[in-house]
Amino acid sequence: MNKAEMNDMPKMAPEMDMSKMDMSDMDMDMGGGQMMHMGNLKRKFWVSLILTLPILLMSPMMGMQLPFQLVFHPRSDYLVGVIGTIVFIYGGQPFFSGAKAELANKKPAMMTLIAMGIGVAFIYSIYAVIANNLLNVTPQVTDFFWELATLIDIMLLGHWIEMNTVMNAGSAVDNLAKLLPSSAHKVVNGETKDIDISELVEDDHIQVRAGEKIPADGVIVSGNTSVNESMVTGEARLVEKGPDGKVVGGSVNGEGTFEMHVTGTGETGYLAQVMKLVTDAQAAKSAQENMADRVAGLLFYAALTVAIVAFIVWMLVGNLALALSIAVTVLVIACPHALGLAVPLVVARSTAIAASHGLLIRNRDSMEKVKELNYALMDKTGTLTAGNFKVAEYQSLDPQVKADEVLSLMASLENGSSHPLAVGILKAAKAQKLTLATATDGHQITGVGLSGTVSGQTYQVVSAAYLDKQKLAYDQAAFNRLASAGNSVSFLVQDQQVLGYVAQGDQIKPEAKNLIDSLKAQKITPVMLTGDNAQSAQVVAKQLGITEVHASLLPEDKAKLVQQYQGDGSRVMMIGDGVNDAPSLASADIGVAIGSGTDVAIDSADVVLVKSNPNDVVEFLELARQTTRKMAQNLWWGAGYNVITIPLAAGILAPIGFILNPMVGAAVMGLSTVVVAINAMTLHIKD
């Protein structure tokens, strides 16, 4: 990645230096844009839980007098009232702040429903203490202090779990920051000086010695080496690097020593960008999470309406005390104990599973689109094949140029590139012990190849499709023979004259066949999109069982094909290696990058597979379906409880002699919460 590209990427603020970041210092949205510090939320939960214990011990359960209540009687009501007030003010504060913001936005949701429930429960419970102990009313009024305290505890726990999800998702990527060394060798006036990595800035000139971790993103200016980028990209192989080659901070240098120009530091480099990616992804709510808020908003209006109607009806057929008791019971029972945990618990479990399987999910809405998928479009090289090219044949097509000269010139032009085809050519030139010249003015020709100058002469390395388009003559019989055997063929061109070619073979990834079979089993049609020649693409497609193949494509051609497949309303997933596939990854309903290419990880993909294993796509699809199913089930459990108990609490079955006892309602409420929790914890995918 060059400096201009880096400048176009979103920057992280200096205060987000990952080497100094403490995940416990995170804030989270408590609703309506109200933020709560992680430490405060955790402390509020534990303090509220501890204060809830004496409330439970001194409150009647299902009408039974517990030992502690008998010991503290007659002052137990006062003690419960005092402690309940503390829990209400201290633990309930975040929900009232969130409700205020929701009402200001005219969008009552979860926070408003919780605030209404605990607010009504508190006021009525204080009235109950006064009525029972000072006014001596008969029959005695039931308070809701233990329901109030447990609701606050559960809601705080739900939000704490949700924040822990953010932390757990970020921790795997946060560990990448630890790949960076603590110091760097800065080159000043030809001499090296060791400095702390935090002092590195863009445009610095540094030296990286054999076996050291690379301290920052950059471009090599001198020296040749091989770099292990597996810890960052998931590619478990050494990549040859030379002048103008790009390196990523956190990868490990091989046996060579080189000097580099810094393009991205700990705050602006690749690792920082991925951390920002995770933070943004976790801050954004998915459709299911927004659904929980919408359900809560509907329950708010429903509970309020039912409570008012029930109050009026029972005033007419009963008395004020009974009407007030029933109305309050409706509002308290409407509190979303289970609904508040329904989505956070599933998200927490799903995120933990994703992290353990090497899945970085940028857009959680992508998981909910999986059930509607019709097509899986995928790149060939690096996605279905390993990208480990080996030269099978090279020849000259010009009598004045020797075959070794063709290979040497192409290797000189490709020197420093990490493209799989370039690596194969460089390895072959090295094996033949050919001398490489210095190439200048090198630049990529998007979707075609590259151009550069060697010894004052300008050359291009291009594909057969480019030659056909430019109507340049070449040995088509040799090309057909090599391409039909599955080789990728690159041609060397000078002044519109084809000088020779290099043919390279690639290996299909062992897991690719399972990916294609799994897609077909799920009624998802696999489609190959590749910039390689049609013959080579067909060889791979035939071995894997892919019937729809589009070859010799430019990046913009892939994006157009994505849109064509979407044209009839179909859902399309694009799987690519994150280099030339960026436009199509962005256009697809779900963009999946195999191998975390720097540009795609930031800009294009919805899902990044840390390991370059096609089977991870299968695991993503399974996890997405399981997660969506569990969320839907939990929303039904959470909302279903309210749908059933609110009418019962209002006395809809009173004509047959049944009115829901608040204690029974609370017990069912607790059972619903347990069911939601157990259901979330059963989320898993096959290893």
Q: Give the residue numbers marked as catalytic.
A: 379
Tokens 């388009």 belong to residue: 469
Inter-CA distances, 512 with 554, 612, 614, Å = 23, 11, 6
- Pick from 600, 321, 596: which is nearest to 587 by CA? 600
Burial of 136 (0-12, 13-18, 19+ CB in 10 A): exposed
CA 372/CA 93 separation, integer angstroms = 41
DSSP per position, 424-449: HHHHHHHHTTPPPPPEEEEEEETTTE
Q: What angle do CA 511, 514, 520 make, to 5 degrees?
A: 145
Using N-to-C axis directions, what is the helix angle for 145-177 and 270-283, rounded to 10°?
160
Tokens 């459709």 belong to residue: 287
Query: Beta strand 217-222 with 457-462: parallel, antiparallel or unpaired?
Result: unpaired
DSSP E strands, 595-673:
607-609
635: Cα within 13 Å, side-chain hemisphere: 20
CB 262 within 8 A of CB 217: yes
DSSP per position, 573-592: EEEE-SSTTHHHHHHSSEEE
Inter-CA distances, 389 with 203, 245, 291, 604, 615, Å = 34, 18, 48, 26, 21
Compute how many other C-beta atoms are within 10 angstroms of the C-beta atom of residue 185.
Answer: 19
CA 398/CA 358 separation, integer angstroms = 49
CA 132/CA 71 separation, integer angstroms = 18
Inter-CA distances, 143 with 59, 120, 206, Å = 9, 11, 70
CA 526/CA 548 separation, integer angstroms = 7
Q: Which two tokens stand for residue 348?
A: 């927490």
Q: Residue 385 carries which DSSP code?
A: B
**Considering Cα of 297, then 303, then 306, then 311, what sign does the dihedral take?**
negative
CB 446 within 8 A of CB 531: no
Residue 636's identity, in one-letter code, is: W
CA 225/CA 426 separation, integer angstroms = 12
CA 651/CA 659 separation, integer angstroms = 5
- Pick from 444, 461, 473: which is nearest to 555 by CA? 444
- Pick from 299, 382, 377, 356: which is nearest to 591 by CA? 377
Using N-to-C axis directions, what is the helix angle for 337-356 and 662-681, rounded to 10°?
10
Q: Which two tokens stand for residue 183?
A: 């110091």
- Pick from 505, 573, 528: which is nearest to 379 by CA? 528
CA 523/CA 544 separation, integer angstroms = 16
Query: Beta strand 225-228 with 238-241: parallel, antiparallel or unpaired?
Result: antiparallel
Inter-CA distances, 187 with 106, 145, 180, 216, Å = 59, 68, 19, 14
Inter-CA distances, 595 with 8, 265, 305, 612, 632, Å = 21, 21, 53, 5, 31
